[in-house]
Amino acid sequence: MTDRTSIHGQWSSRLAFILAATGSAVGLGNIWKFPYITGENGGGAFVLVYLVCVVIVGIPIMMAEVLIGRRGRQSPINTMRLLAHEESRHGIWQIVGWSGMVAGFLIISFYSVIAGWALAYVFRTASGTFTGVTADGVSSIFSSLVSDPERLLAWHTIFMVMTTIVVSRGVRSGLEQAVRVLMPLLFMLLLVLVGYAMNTDKFDEGLAFLFSPNFSALTPGAVLTAMGHAFFTLSLGMGAIMIYGSYLPKSASITKTSVVVALMDTLVALLAGMAIFPIVFANGLEAGAGPGLIFQTLPLAFGHMPGGTLFGTLFFVLLVFAAWTSGISLLEPAVAWLVENQGVNRVRAATLMGILGWLFGIVTIMSFSSWAFEFDFAGETKRSGMFDILDILTANIMLPLGGLAMAVFAGWFMSRDSTMDELGMGDSLVFRGWFFLVRYVTPVAVIVVFLQLLGVIDF
């Protein structure tokens, strides 16, 4: 049995880890991305596939990532190097740690830009900018924001500063304090918005869209999107859950905490859909409006409904909170690595990575204006250049591959005794079920979808 401690500190309790990991998982992926990709892919059938992906792929890999993190108690790169050595495996496994850290860095660079949109919309909505505005007017407001690099840079800067400050304060004083405040507020805001949606005359239609499967609308590309989103929304494959796992007390159950985090994350995604789609349908708007669903479709609805200014402002505050809790987890692995390997203190490490993320975010900012270009991917035309490339590279390629590698490492390259010891449930039926999934089902599911993406197989 290992008896390591992290030099960065430890969560004060299992609840703190659940809040932090849920905060990492609950982000723009749940409230911005999940509703619009559900709308684009036919609703209920896509939701069903997504839920299956969470159960057979997401939870087993989350458990693998947490147990690897807790066993190593270091940054993802150093943890993979240490455990590979302990298990007498090749040091090349540290590439998995590097891949996760790089993926997290790439995501925070464009994630911060989108979070900046949400920050801007808090103030626009609160000031009544959208009150009585036409669809063309809302579209014009969104276009003028996205195509204005200077304004995007200002909001991107504010969000990166917010994120960097929290990370610089450490595990207990920064990460844990932030999620203890933000997560309860996030759930309260979301429940208020669902309550508002229940009073629209289209609530039943919204529920039917979310929960009534229409398999004729399901395409192979939608299956890939569902699996990629299961990784993206659970923060898998990017080192965030591994580093959070390294701060988890030895007494906490990895199985129970992973299941609770996955359930809470999925609940938030479904609640977001329950809040958004009734409002969309009640205003005669298009559910498959794409990335602009949150920033173009909903402001139009908020601008024409009673109390729209208040509830619209609450919605975008919710979006900022969700992005903030995820942003700190994306920055943490790289900061932890700098502290461990380069001998710098946490404040300097967080500042350096925050500045690098801010600089790289400029690429995303410019991809919505002068650097925009089109390309085709999986039968779809993408128009936002480097933003779309980074999104596809991370969510559809790096995260699934990283998660696959962690599943393979935990299932095939770590000894059964090591994984059994870390999970702390003996050779039980639950352990054997997880071991079977992480060795056979999860890797095969990921590989099949990749082969479909590459055109090797067709289904």
Kindly give the confidence (pLDDT) of every residue in the chain, 459 residues in length, as a single tens digit, with 9 standing for 90 and above: 456 888 998 998 889 999 999 988 887 778 877 887 888 888 889 999 999 989 888 899 999 999 999 999 999 999 999 999 999 999 999 999 999 999 999 999 999 999 999 999 999 999 999 999 988 898 899 999 999 999 999 999 999 999 999 999 988 889 899 989 988 888 888 888 888 889 888 899 989 888 888 888 788 778 878 877 777 678 888 889 999 999 999 989 999 999 999 999 999 889 988 988 888 888 777 777 666 778 887 888 888 888 889 989 988 998 898 889 999 999 999 999 999 999 899 999 999 999 999 999 999 999 988 888 887 876 667 777 889 899 888 877 888 888 899 999 999 999 999 999 999 888 999 999 999 999 999 898 888 777 766 566 665
Alpha-carbon radius of gyration of the chain: 21
Closest alpha carbon to 453 in 390, 401, 406: 401
In contact, 213 and 45? CB cutoff 8 Å = yes
Q: What is the pTM of this model?
A: 0.89
Residue keyed to tokens 């900061």: 335
Burial of 88 (0-12, 13-18, 19+ CB in 10 A): exposed
Closest by Cα among 409, 404, 364 to 388: 364
> How far apart (Å, rounded) are the C-alpha atoms in residues 23 and 18?
8
Contact 20, 204 (CB under 8 A): no
Whether the CB-CB separation of 355 and 344 falls below 8 Å is answered with: no
Query: Can you tell me which residue has the tokens 């103030």?
Result: 123
- Helix ranges restricted to H, 283-345: 292, 298-302, 308-342
Report yes or no: 61 and 100 within 8 Å, Cβ to Cβ: no
- Residue 380 sits at φ, ψ, to 5 deg, of -120, 145
Tell the burial category of 452 from Cβ atoms under 10 Å away from its Cβ (0-12, 13-18, 19+). middle
Cα separation of 264 and 262, whole Å?
Answer: 6
Report which of 366, 367, 365 is spatially closest to residue 382, judged by C-alpha positions. 367
What integer pLDDT is reported at residue 307 of this predicted model?
A: 87
Q: What spatial distance separates the first Cα and last Cα of the chain, rounded to whole Å?
A: 45
Give the number of C-alpha atoms closer than 13 A to the C-alpha of residue 361, restricted to the C-beta side: 30
For residue 36, give Cα distances in angstroms to 5, 244, 369: 42, 29, 22
CB-based contacts of 229: which residues, under 8 Å, 6+ apart?
A: 29, 33, 34, 37, 50, 53, 395
- Whether the CB-CB separation of 36 and 277 falls below 8 Å is answered with no
Question: Do residues 459 and 71 make contact, with C-beta atoms less than 8 angstroms apart?
Answer: no
Taking the C-alpha atoms of residue 268 and residue 199, their distance in angstroms, rounded to an integer, is: 19
Q: How far apart are the C-alpha atoms of 296 and 143, rounded to whole Å?
A: 9
Could you give phi then psi for residue 255, rounded to 5 degrees? -60, -50
The answer to whether the CB of 321 falls within 8 A of the CB of 149 is no
Answer yes or no: are the C-beta atoms of 158 and 119 closer than 8 Å: yes
What's the CA gap between 59 and 441, in Å, rounded?
12
Taking residue 400's Cβ as centre, other Cβ atoms within 10 Å add up to 27
- List domains and CATH numbers for the chain: 14-453 (1.10.4160)
pLDDT at 379: 67
